[in-house]
Amino acid sequence: MPITDLLVRNAQLYPDEVALVEINPAFEPESRLTWKEYSLVQPEPGQPFRRELTWKMFDVKANRFANLLLTRGVGRDDKVAILMMNSIEWLPIYFGILKAGAVAVPLNFRYTAEEIKYCLEKADCSFLVFGPEFIGRVEEISDRIPGVRHLFYVGEDCPTFADSFDKMIAFCSSHAPEITLSEEDNAAIYFSSGTTGFPKAILHAHHSLSHSAKVEQAHHGQTHDDVFLCIPPLYHTGAKMHWFGSLYSGSKAVLLKGTRPDWIIRTASEEKCTIVWLLVPWAQDILDSVDSGKIRLADYSLSQWRLMHIGAQPVPPSLIRRWQACFPGQQYDTNYGLSESIGPGCVHLGVENIHKVGAIGKAGFGWETKIVDETGAPVARGEVGELCVRGPGVMLCYYKDETATAETIRDGWLFTGDMAMEDEDGFIFLVDRKKDVIITGGENLYPVQIEDHIRRHGAVRDVAVIGLPDKRLGEIAAAIIEVKEGMTLTEEEVNEFCLTLPRYKRPRKVIFAKIPRNPTGKIEKPKLREIYCGESLVEQQING
């Protein structure tokens, strides 16, 4: 079935029940009231810090945006990009795009103006919906994206080069458009990237999204009474597909705009959250705040919090042991996935397998896995090979890239590019990444982009960027730099040279050394990781 059917069903079954809550603690007023109590008081001028949306209004807002798109000439399979921070409008906009028969294209909020332009052109986007945080970046490219026919702005003080989303949907019908959808229709394009650093456009059909909702509910057992706390950005398949468990069960979800430990704990307490998905750094920060006394758990109501799960990066077993000691009543789970497999769930640990922390698990609900050698033949248990997955959530293709699609999907199997091994009990451990993407705090860094920038420095002969293990972020980017003969270069000079990079792309560590290359001229990054990491990824996971 198309994923939109679940929204329609919830609007019919639970029209007046809360579907979404948005909390922006940065605008918290000085009050001893709970956030929910204060939101019922006459709001003061300024941005509200707590908003609610019922399932009925969720569906109505989606219908209105779908009808707005149709009045602007959107056609079936037209691409509509979303460039917004998490907000209560994000998901209704996403579903409005789908209801219009169009394809939703979520964009990473970290993208530079040129990266936004690249993605809009790569996906053939005809429309762009953006929020106030992106006015400058969109204005910079607004006259250089001729394929984009309409710009919709969500927020106050609409810029002159865009149309006001809020004003325009107010005059649109709240009834569902007469668009027939099937599970085979195209639904969404998500962007990913390999070692080249150039994002690939990943096309998924409705059946992929619907299956991910079933997977999430099957793995974590969401009921109508659960409350899911969603913190990561909704452009990411991980956040969205975990929320799909709430969509599937018709239960409430809370969008928290911030990652401060006290905000997370207070939200879980006041909103009665039962399921919370964290990244490693956030879990680490919470534990450190508890240990330091900045957070007193006795001040909060957390007995209903039944499940904490982590994804998007390797999870240190030592962290989970600390978490269980701090929160002994909670279950723990982890999922593995990638955007090509519609996010988390193609491999799943399971709450019953806490003794296997460090593994990513076994094949998830409706999925198959295998580990193969370079010829595509399965390897024996205990041997390292490339992890492959197969199931209803595999992407249709890399949009407009037949070569990359053929390399990645073979006989229905998705070759993940991740090296893994299976132990004697059938649990899969990641060993290394075939792709050299660095995952830091759940975000992808593409080494070639950082390398290309550093190479511009006149004193640099060669450079390689790798990920080093980090207790809080999972990995950090380290730049190994080979200086030209007869020249000098300091770490301070490198850091200053990298100030023109976005903050999250700047290397956290600089090492001066010779760069090893193989006979074909390729940098031997596995050798660098062995030198500077000291142990393989699987050893780090097992040893914690």
- Residue 349, φ and ψ in degrees, nearest 5: -75, -55
97 CB-side CA count, 13 A: 27
In the prediction, which pLDDT does 124 show? 97
Beta-strand pair 331-338/343-348? antiparallel
* Whole-angstrom Cα Rg for the chain: 23
Cβ atoms 357, 351 nearer than 8 A: no
* Candidates 3.40.1390.20, 1.10.730.10, 3.30.70.920, 3.30.300.30; CATH matching 438-536: 3.30.300.30
Count other Cβ atoms within 10 Å, centred on residue 23: 26
**Closest to 200 (Cα-Cα) out of 468, 435, 507, 462:** 435
Going 271 to 272 to 275 to 276, the CA torsion angle's sign is: positive
* DSSP helix/strand/coil, 139: helix
In the prediction, which pLDDT does 130 show? 98
**Closest to 348 (Cα-Cα) out of 331, 339, 360:** 360
Tens-level pLDDT at each residue, the chain (544 residues): 999 999 999 999 999 999 999 999 877 666 556 767 766 654 554 566 889 999 999 999 999 999 999 999 999 999 999 999 999 999 999 999 999 999 999 999 988 899 999 999 999 999 999 999 999 999 999 999 999 999 999 999 999 999 999 999 999 999 999 999 999 999 999 998 543 457 899 999 999 999 999 999 999 999 999 999 999 899 988 888 999 999 999 999 999 999 999 999 999 999 999 999 998 878 888 998 999 999 999 999 999 999 999 876 667 787 888 999 999 989 999 989 999 999 889 999 999 998 898 899 999 999 999 999 989 999 999 998 899 999 999 999 999 999 999 999 999 999 998 888 999 999 998 876 666 778 888 777 878 778 878 988 989 988 999 999 888 888 899 999 999 888 999 999 999 999 999 888 899 999 999 988 754 456 778 788 888 886 554 444 444 4
Q: Where along the chain do its domains lie? A: 4-310, 438-536
Strand partners, 106: 82
Indicate the residue type of 75.
G
Rounded-to-integer distance, Cα 37 and Cα 51, Å: 12
Beta-strand pair 275-278/252-256? unpaired
Burial class (CB in 10 A: 0-12, 13-18, 19+), 16: exposed
**Closest to 149 (Cα-Cα) out of 160, 159, 163, 169:** 163
* DSSP helix/strand/coil, 132: helix
pTM for this model (two decimals): 0.84
End-to-end CA distance of the chain: 42
Question: Is 4-310 assigned to CATH 3.40.50.12780?
Answer: yes
* DSSP helix/strand/coil, 2: coil
Cβ atoms 526, 432 nearer than 8 A: yes
In the prediction, which pLDDT does 197 show? 53
